[in-house]
Structure 1
Amino acid sequence: MSEREQSVTVSSPRLRVFHELRYRIFMVYRRLFSLVWLTNIAILIVVLSIPSTDRKWLTTIALINLSIAILIRQDFVINLIYTTCCSIPLSWPLAVRRRMAQVYHLGGIHSGCATAAVLWFAGSFGYSLGVKLSDPRQYHFSSATICLSAIVLFMLLAMTVSAHPMIRKKYHNAFEAIHRLLGWTLLVLVWVQVMLSLEDHKASQQSLGYTAVRSPDMWLLIIITTSIATSWVFLKRVPVETEVLSQHAIQLHFQYTNAVRGGFLRVSERPLLEWHSFATIPVTNNDEKCVKGCSVIVSRAGDWTSRQISKPPTRLWVRGVPTMGVMRVASLFRSVVLIGTGSGIGPLLGHIPSCRLRLIWSTPHPEQTFGNGIVESVYEADPDALIWDTRKNGRPNLVELACEEIEKIEAEAVVIISNETVTRLVVGELERKGVPAFGAVWDS
């Protein structure tokens, strides 16, 4: 049996149960989250089992977790991780390439380290408060340090609760505001809290500056601050040319940067309150060579997108650099089926891998909604592309369509760009069949 046949054949009920557990319940995101927590539990056991361990390390461990959580979301770090994982040769076994393609689940590290950091901060606060109340002579914790630590902990808990999937989906705009505004406030407060703590514990003959330079907490804060600031260093308001595709979609053209393979960029009207990510499409000339600039497709899917379509913008705020996303993993396979629904065609056109491929695009009234130009681009990328008009043909069974095309082109994998519900359904069904399938949802 060939490697591809092994990847798409699940013959026994026991194997189907294994795939159900592995790819639905114990998905890579959750496995990474669990690995982070198990590592932190092991560190906690070590700290508790060694009485001589200075409990001031609780704050340091919290900051280590927080540093990792923030770095893993930093644009340059994301691009580095994607480039590393997606640069392995096609000659490597499919099993290895399949695992490397799960790189888009790195959000599991972010959420795992962030939640672990909150509990370490809680432990540090509880220890400091206990010492303050029971034995203030053992360590001197000032009232200012205790009060500021309580405020920091309360704000961290508020951010964690607002990030819960159910709350985040129901109150997404509130989540964005809380995460951003409280995050900046917390950064300032943690700097003050750490400096106060260092002042509390420094030797009488040492200066605060000397103590701070020798403290790992300060250097971790420098890493955190630099990581957050780097994205905002590139904040600027750039001109944008709007191409109206229909009453339901527009294409925004930018000249300030080039598209990144399988990447996206962030745009905003109010940079302090909200940001929206869109996959970038490279600009080509008549010789089909990439030139300066990129574009994104915006379809009507909420208040912000509706406003852009009704009143096309001439300038928008951008920050950071174009960042790689799930479409980047398509380059790991010799042949691939690409599935997109609605404006998900944007990410697909943004990175067409140089391999055997089949494009499946499901959308209502494709020409009317996105214009003949986008439809022609789809057929240029794949002359045998399957464009499914849901207004004429109803909703398709994307799993069945994908399986048919897999057999036709002997595809090694499937990549889907769609909403959370469809993505989970298609990826889950294909994985149960043993087909390597990839599709990011909002928390990936």
Structure 2
Amino acid sequence: MSLPTLPTSPTSPILPSSPDSPPPMQDLSRTSITIVRPPPTAPEDKRIAHVKRQSWMTHKSRWSGSSFSSTTSATPFFWNRPRSLSISDPEKVAQLSQQSVDKAIEDDIAATEPKERDYHRQSPYWLFTMIWAHQIWWIVTALCNIPVYLRLAALPSGLERLNLVANASLINLTIVVLVRNELLLAGLYWSFNFIPFRRFYFHRMLHSIGGLHVGCAFATFLWIVFYVVELGKNTSFSTPLNIALFTTALILPLGISIIITFALRPLRERYHNVWEYTHRFVGWFVVADLVAHLALKACSLANPRDLFRTALPYLTIACVISIFYVWFTVRRAKVSINANHSVAMVKFQGRPTLDDGTFARISRNGLEWHAFSVATADFQKREFSLIVARAGDWTTKLIHDSIAREGPEHLYIRGVNPPGFMHMHHSYKKVVTICTGAGIAPALPHIAQKTSDIFLVWIGKNHEKTYGRDVWETVTSNLPSDQILLHDTGISGRPDIASLLERVAKQHEAEAVFVVSNDPYTILCANICWRLGLRCYGATRDS
């Protein structure tokens, strides 16, 4: 997909901005941001800050007709500092810092999202264009299962139909398990970098493969219900073996229904730990029950070896290996944690096995696991680091304990670390990466390892102070100054991402845009890129 043709004149028109938006940035090729803070004698309740941006065009660009220009713009804002806030209260300072970023993003969404929504609805086929890759996987699953279901439903009830339904159930269950296999995903992410054509669409379907997981999970539930009904019709309950066979079959749809119920988005978001535990432990119980059911089924046959002439035991073995092998890679690693009141830098000692674009799952007790992007990996010092931002109870407690010098000396970490969407940096030469707050973490390995030519847009507050010297030096020492744009929400307010993204993409001649933020902001940036004809990558809950 090529970028849209845009005006090349230095005086080309720009997007109109709303009355409450900051003045749009000029086309920049080299940007240095100077923050002029209010003098100490300024009034306490209303301080005025100015953000001055100067630019020098350092090379010819196909986006601009001139090779040299200089522009300066200033944006005033009023800073209301609470009188009750003490500078010595780091907890409040950190909290206000995050609130500043969140508020700026919310304001930007409120101002920009209606315009983008109205633009996309101008298309006569906008309803069809709003189908996401996640839903496409649902459609693919339905198209594969419905014809098979209709064909089997037309067969007379009997052992033949029972065995075919059992095979259909286990095929869907195996797909459910395998699409979450981290080794398989790592192989797919790596191989998709070499697709010579329509690469973005393959990436899109791979990143949304959670839709295949969900679709096949529903299909598995329906097929197993079908199987239990057929088994009840064709089983005599005169022997304990047959009763046990039917009981283990009946447990399967009950267990799967519990997993599906707590995986529904409203319950998953509200009861995240319950969702995690049911997905893991109820899932393990269902697999154990499936193994017991197959053992009983073999015993019910005249020749138990006949079961191995079907696909059922082999599909079950594939599920068991795929689910449990990762737990044999868990190790208890020594860590050193450097934390402030916003983020914690967790360093693991040992040879890094983590590549850029991957994430690691860590736990304090081996039960509750959380995934964080690999921030840095130093093969010479034999260490790698994760950035843990304050987001929930688990991360907050880790940060508090580390500041109080009561943090853990060891953490559990899984040995298999799958890549995420940021791994797709490898597919492009020039990209724009937009990060909000601690979302800088997934971008750091790509910046340090120079995976591609990156223009970084980092939206935060007091970047160096909030996220630490190590993060700051990783960014500033590996990227040219003309490819870093820091937006301080405490000074500049909302970033006006629509005009900013358009100008940065034109300036950098970007082939793709990567967004690391929350769901609403990621979707907003994706819609903007869609309008501009840019490829956009971002994390979603259903990926």
- Partners of 1:115 and 1:7 lie apart in 2 by 46
1:81-115 Cα offsets, whole Å, 9 max, x none, are 10111233xxx45xx12213312111111111122
TM-score between both structures, scaled by the size of structure 2: 0.72
Residue 374 (structure 2) aligns with: 280
Matched, 1:99 2:196: no
What displacement does 1:14 show?
8.4
What displacement does 1:376 show?
2.5
Residue 122 (structure 1) aligns with: 225
Residue 190 (structure 2) aligns with: 83
Contact 1:279 1:350 in 2 (8 A): no
- Partners of 1:263 and 1:148 lie apart in 2 by 39
1:273-327 Cα offsets, whole Å, 9 max, x none, are x21001112334xxxx766331110011111101111113211011241210010
- Partners of 2:146 and 2:451 lie apart in 1 by 44
1:12-41 Cα offsets, whole Å, 9 max, x none, are 978963785456x31111111221121111
Aligned partner of 1:250 among 344, 349, 372: 344
The structure that has the greater radius of gyration is: 2
- Partners of 1:416 and 1:260 lie apart in 2 by 19
Matches within 5 A, 1:248-327: 248-256=342-350, 257-272=352-367, 274-284=368-378, 292-312=382-402, 313-327=408-422
Aligned partner of 2:514 among 415, 422, 426: 415
Residue 178 (structure 2) aligns with: 71
Residue 25 (structure 2) aligns with: none
1:397-420 Cα offsets, whole Å, 9 max, x none, are 223321110010111111111112
The residue type paired with residue 159 of structure 1 is I
Aligned partner of 1:401 among 473, 483, 500: 500
Structure 1 residues 18 and 370: alpha-carbon distance in aligned structure 2, compared to 1, 3 A threshold = farther
The residue type paired with residue 100 of structure 1 is F
Matches within 5 A, 1:295-374: 295-312=385-402, 313-352=408-447, 354-374=451-471
Matched, 1:435 2:534: yes
Q: Name which of structure 1's ranges 421-430 and 246-255 shifts more when overlaid on structure 2.
A: 421-430
Contact 1:281 1:350 in 2 (8 A): yes
Contact 1:75 1:320 in 2 (8 A): no
Matched, 1:379 2:476: yes
Identity across the alignment (%) = 27
Query: Which has the larger helix fraction?
Result: 1
Give SS of 1:87's match. Answer: coil
1:363-389 Cα offsets, whole Å, 9 max, x none, are 222122102331232223332311111
Contact 1:356 1:409 in 2 (8 A): no
Aligned partner of 2:257 among 157, 176, 198: 157
Structure 1 residues 220 and 18: alpha-carbon distance in aligned structure 2, compared to 1, 3 A threshold = farther
- Partners of 1:319 and 1:62 lie apart in 2 by 30
- Partners of 1:170 and 1:15 lie apart in 2 by 32
Unmatched tracts of structure 1, length 5 or more: none
- Partners of 1:81 and 1:7 lie apart in 2 by 35
State the number of aligned residues.
420
Contact 2:2 2:533 in 1 (8 A): no
Residue 17 (structure 1) aligns with: 123
Residue 30 (structure 1) aligns with: 135
Matched, 1:219 2:314: yes
1:147-181 Cα offsets, whole Å, 9 max, x none, are 22222211110100111112111111110111111
Contact 2:376 2:386 in 1 (8 A): no
1:208-259 Cα offsets, whole Å, 9 max, x none, are 2x13322311111100000111111101111111122x21111111133332
Give SS of 2:172's match. Answer: helix
Matched, 1:180 2:280: yes
RMSD of Structure 2 on Structure 1 (CA):
2.7
Structure 1 residues 182 and 14: alpha-carbon distance in aligned structure 2, compared to 1, 3 A threshold = closer
Matches within 5 A, 1:180-199: 180-199=280-299
Structure 1 residues 68 and 320: alpha-carbon distance in aligned structure 2, compared to 1, 3 A threshold = farther
- Partners of 1:387 and 1:14 lie apart in 2 by 29
TM-score between both structures, scaled by the size of structure 1: 0.88
Structure 1 residues 422 and 212: alpha-carbon distance in aligned structure 2, compared to 1, 3 A threshold = same
- Partners of 1:414 and 1:231 lie apart in 2 by 32
- Partners of 2:357 and 2:126 lie apart in 1 by 28
Structure 1 residues 320 and 258: alpha-carbon distance in aligned structure 2, compared to 1, 3 A threshold = closer
1:38-70 Cα offsets, whole Å, 9 max, x none, are 111122123234548532221221111111111
Unmatched tracts of structure 2, length 5 or more: 8-115, 403-407
The residue type paired with residue 355 of structure 2 is V
